[in-house]
Amino acid sequence: MSKILELNQITKKFGGLVANENVTFDVEEGEIVGVVGPNGAGKTTLFNSISGAFPPTSGTITFNGQDITSLPAHECAKIGIGRTFQIPQSLNDMTVEENVIVGALCHTNSMSEAAKKVEDVLKLCGMDKYRTMLAGKLNVAQKKRLEIARAMATDPKLLLLDETMAGLTATERVEAVELIRKINKMGIAILTIEHNMDVVMKVSNRVVVLVSGRLLMVGSPEEVTSNPEVISAYLGGGSKDES
């Protein structure tokens, strides 16, 4: 298998604050990689670097063999990086259908073609029954699904999911895991930030552990859960030096 995403020595500084430091890992095609770490470990910052929202201070990001380090967000979306947001950024004054249409228009100018795409995506995400509802009226779980649907409509090769499970009930989580698996089966690689360890271990092929902006380890779910450093990082909540 070839690598779809390669991060090489990614560092991101906000003034004096170092949010990511020398993070290096990669994602293979068709793989699900979980990103875990305590609050403030720099997970979302990393996503913002990959998706082009805030380019990294140094290091390189390669997507499908193309250097995308300083590519702006909208270009990243065009070449196949879809993303969701930790706090759902739904377009509240538009209907569910329109929210997804906007995503589908990424690769076409024709409204009818976009409408077809929307049809498939809404079914895939189980949102077709809400299509005429205003996005602002959805509940959290539905909004998170809508985020995925909108990103899926852009035909991504890599999907970045930022805490899609947070705030969901147990049944909703099961449904979400199912959806992630379904999307993955379509051949789309997934990089997912997740707090709920059970979920991460269940869906991920590999897990990346970030602590205080630095990469602690990359490995299979079993390797990660049995690593004493990871355990102490989680329980101690501190940095690597304290362990």
Which residues form the interface with another protein (CB under 8 A)? Answer: 14-15, 51-53, 72-75, 77-78, 82-83, 85, 89-94, 98, 101-103, 105-107, 109, 111, 114, 150-151, 153-154
List the one residue out of 55, 47, 35 whose CA is nearest residue 193.
35
Cβ-based nearer residue to another protein, 100 or 209: 100
- The span from the CA of 65 to the CA of 6, in Å, is 9
Q: Are 35 and 191 in contact (CB under 8 A)?
A: yes
Cβ-based nearer residue to another protein, 101 or 138: 101
Q: Are 172 and 199 in contact (CB under 8 A)?
A: no
Kindly state the smallest distance separating residue 87's Cβ from another protein, in Å. 10
Cβ-based nearer residue to another protein, 145 or 214: 145
Kindly state the smallest distance separating residue 109's Cβ from another protein, in Å. 5
Number of CB atoms found within 10 A of residue 164's CB: 26
Q: What are phi and psi of 191, to 5 degrees?
A: -115, 120
- The span from the CA of 6 to the CA of 211, in Å, is 19
Kindly state the smallest distance separating residue 197's Cβ from another protein, in Å. 27
Kindly state the smallest distance separating residue 234's Cβ from another protein, in Å. 29
Cβ-based nearer residue to another protein, 109 or 171: 109
